[in-house]
Chains A and B, each alone.
Chain A
Amino acid sequence: MKRDFIEVNEKIKAGKAVVMTAEEAAELVASDGVKAAAKKIDVVTTGTFGPMCSSGAVLNFGHSEPPIRMGKITLNDVECYGGLAAVDTYVGATQPSNDKGMQYGGAHVIEDLIAGKSVKLRASSYGTDCYPRKEIETQIGLEDMNQAMLFNPRNAYQNYSAATNSTERTLYTYMGTLLPNKRNVTYSTSGALSPLLKDPELRATGIGTRIFLGGAQGYVAFEGTQTVFNHHELESGGDWYGGVTLAVVGDMKRMSAQYIRAAVFEGYGCSMFVGIGIPYPVLDEDFLAQLAKPDEELFTRVFDYSVPSRSRPALRLVSYAELRSGEIELDGKRARTAPLSSLRIAREIASELKEQVQKGEFLLSEPVQYFERGKVNKPLNIK
Chain B
Amino acid sequence: MQTIKASLYFPIDMTDKPFITDLVRDYGLTVNVLQAEILPGRPGKSVIDLTGSEEDLEKGLIYLSEHGISVHMFTTSIIHNADNCVDCGACVAVCTSGALQIKAPDWKLSFDPKECVRCKQCVKACPTRAINVNVFQ
Binding site for B on A (CB under 8 A): 49-51, 172, 176-179, 183-184, 186, 261-266, 271, 273, 324, 326, 336, 338-345, 347
Contacts and interface: CB of A to CB of B under 8 A. Distances in A.
Contacts of A176: 90, 93-94, 125, 127
Given A49-B88, A186-B93, A263-B128, 9 more contacts: A177-B93, A178-B93, A184-B94, A264-B127, A336-B93, A338-B90, A338-B92, A340-B88, A342-B86
Interface string B95-134: 0100001111011100000000000010011011100000
A273 B87 CA distance: 11
Contacts of A341: 88
Interface string B66-94: 00000000000000000000111111111
A344 B86 CA distance: 8
Contacts of A262: 128
Given A263-B128, A266-B124, A343 B94 contact: no
Contact of A344 (B90, B93, B106, B121): B106
Interface string B1-30: 000000000000000000000000000000
Nearest to B106: A344
B111 to A, nearest CB: 14
A338 B128 contact: no
A326 B129 CA distance: 23
Contacts of B128: 261-264, 273
Contacts of B88: 49-51, 273, 339-342
A344 B94 contact: no
A178 B121 CA distance: 11
A338 B127 contact: no
A265 B96 CA distance: 19
Closest 7 CB pairs of A and B: A263-B127, A338-B93, A339-B89, A338-B92, A343-B107, A344-B87, A266-B124
Contacts of A263: 127-128
B107 A179 contact: no
Nearest to B108: A344
A179 B119 CA distance: 13
A345 B87 contact: yes
A266 B92 CA distance: 15
B127 A49 contact: no
Nearest to A264: B127
Contacts of A183: 96
A55 B113 CA distance: 36
Given A51-B127, A177-B121, A336 B96 contact: yes
Nearest to A186: B93
Contacts of A50: 88
Contacts of B92: 336, 338-339
Contacts of A340: 88-90, 93
